[in-house]
Amino acid sequence: MINTVAGYGSTGSICEDIANLLEQQGHECYIAYGQLSTSYHKSFKIGTRIENHLHNVGSRLIGKQGYFSKSGTKNLISYIENVKPDIIHLHNLHGNYLNLQILFEYFIKVQIPIVYTLHDCWAFTGKCAHFTDVQCYKWKTQCYSCPQLKKYPPSLFFDYSKDMYVDKKNWFTSIQKMNIIPVSNWLASEVEQSFLKKYPITPIYNWVNHSIFKETIDREVIKRYNIDENKFTIVLVSAIWDTKDVKWQDALKLATMIDKDIQILMIGNVSSPKLLPKNIKHIPYVNGKEELAKIYSISDVYIHLSTEDTFGKVIAEALSCGTPAIVYNSTACPEIIDNTSGYVVEKRNVKEVYEAVLKIKEKGRIFFSKNCRERVIKEFDLKTNIDLTIQVYKKLLKT
């Protein structure tokens, strides 16, 4: 597997989950990664810290991501030749750690079967990872004049979205045997309108380890974060809460609507904590998945304020702990819940969010809990969905 990270964050954890299950079934699995570090025993670090930093600088200054890191990519190819894998499973290739031309010219030459899991939309656009908020659909024909030049991956000066689109289309569609795995049905429907539609597309949901994310009431957690257990509790989760982000704006708007018997827990790094109102309790860092599961378990509802998600793993984690969710009717978010485990509301309609909060408050968390848990076990089970991924491997090897 090749991914930006291994064992860290959503995609890094997914890689290790797959690797661990493959090993349990008697297979060999190796993870090549570009950023941070990992404890996985069969791993390969792509490039040096300096090389990847220079790639990041070059990407920002010139506006082309995936055109540097030549030495690291050549070393990765030597590693692949030494391992001699039956399958190469690609995950996130963006992140300033690969030279895409060198890598894909090698793939095209050796024609090792490839599985490509798409965790976002970057693979079929000229630059961006998401496009729905700006309503830009140039990628269906040809990217140019990118409206998100300063957004990830940011370019300070130049717009090379047209060149990158042409290059990616050329490289990615020259693979002889490849299967695309989008992580939601919404993403699959977008891929079917892209240049990747020539390949088999097999949507497989991400998964949740529901042996970790389960209802766990720990009174020490209530004390540790000074949570008022007599109040109806809303939990919000994001890696970063930035004042320019719509999630932040909607969270503050919601805080002006709620009654005094409702409190909001905001988990994640906040760029301006002094701007938080008193009815939002900030928890900047949660140590481990088990701790996060305990916070979900003492919350009455999880509200997902993101407008662009290709899956929405945080939603599924909350459901797994028996906590109903409220999500926007945007991208893949509505797929994660059904009418027995929460509510879908109009995108960025905070008034509707609050009305859904009141419905859950009236019915009570326990009204939803069993259905929330059962939905996760049915749709987002770790072993079931990894086995579906392994079936894609086997099918590709037979063709």
Peptide bond into 153 cis (omega under 30): yes
Say whether both 248 and 149 belong to one domain.
no
Are 190 and 227 part of one and the same domain? no
According to DSSP, the β-strands at 280-283 and 262-270 are parallel
- 347: Cα separation from own chain's centroid: 19
- 388 in the same domain as 372: no
Cβ atoms of 372 and 299 closer than 8 Å? no
- Answer yes or no: is 9 within a domain: yes
Does a structural domain hold residue 214? no
| Domain assignment of residue 141, given as a range | 2-207+382-398
174-177, Cβ contacts within 8 angstroms, sequence gap of 24 or more: 174/104, 174/108, 175/104, 175/107, 175/108, 175/111, 175/114, 175/199, 176/108, 176/111, 177/111, 177/113, 177/114, 177/396, 177/399
Render the burial of 228-240: b for 16+ CB within 10 Å, e for the rest: eeebbbbbbbbee
Q: Are residues 386 and 375 in the same domain?
A: no
Question: In the chain, what is the straight-line distance between the N-terminal and C-terminal CA atoms, in Å?
Answer: 20
- What is the pLDDT, as a whole number, of residue 260? 94
By the 8 A CB rule, do 279 and 273 touch? Answer: no
Q: Are residues 177 and 100 in the same domain?
A: yes
Q: Is residue 213 situated within a structural domain? A: no
Q: Which tokens hold the place of 119? A: 């965790």
352 in any annotated domain: yes
Q: How high does pLDDT run on average in the chain?
A: 96
In a domain, 212, yes or no: no
Instruction: Quote the CA–CA distance of 213 and 211 in Å, as a whole number.
Output: 6
Res 288: pLDDT: 87
Query: Do 339 and 326 meet the contact criterion of CB atoms below 8 Å apart?
Result: no
Pair 93, 200 in one domain: yes
DSSP string, 34-88: -SS----SSEEE-S-HHHHHHHHHHHHHH--TTB--HHHHHHHHHHHHHH--S-E
**Shared domain check, 386 and 370:** no
Please check whether residues 297 and 226 belong to one and the same domain.
yes
**Residue 286: per-residue pLDDT:** 86
Give per-residue pLDDT as tens, 17-73.
999 999 999 999 999 999 999 999 999 999 999 999 999 999 999 999 999 999 999
- How far is CA 27 from its chain centroid? 26
67 and 51 within one domain: yes
Helix (H) or strand (E) holding 131: none
What angle do helix axes 100-110 and 70-83 make, rounded to 10 degrees? 30
Number of structural domains (the chain) is 2
Co-location of 283 and 331 in the same domain: yes
CATH number, domain of 67, equals 3.40.50.2000
Tokens representing 160? 């090379």
Is the domain of 95 the same as that of 133? yes
- The predicted model scores a pTM of 0.95
Q: How confident is the prediction along the chain (399 residues), in pLDDT tens digits per residue? A: 999 999 988 899 999 999 999 999 999 999 999 999 999 999 999 999 999 999 999 999 999 999 999 999 999 999 999 999 999 999 999 999 999 999 999 999 999 999 999 999 999 999 999 999 999 999 999 999 999 999 988 999 999 999 999 999 999 999 999 999 999 999 999 999 999 999 999 999 999 999 999 999 898 999 999 999 999 999 999 989 999 899 999 999 999 999 999 999 999 999 888 999 999 999 988 878 999 999 999 999 999 999 999 999 999 999 999 999 999 999 999 999 999 999 999 999 999 999 999 999 999 999 999 999 999 999 999 999 999 999 999 999 998
Helix-strand-coil split of the chain, %, nearest 5: 45, 15, 40
Is the same domain home to 280 and 392? no
| pLDDT in the model for residue 250 | 97
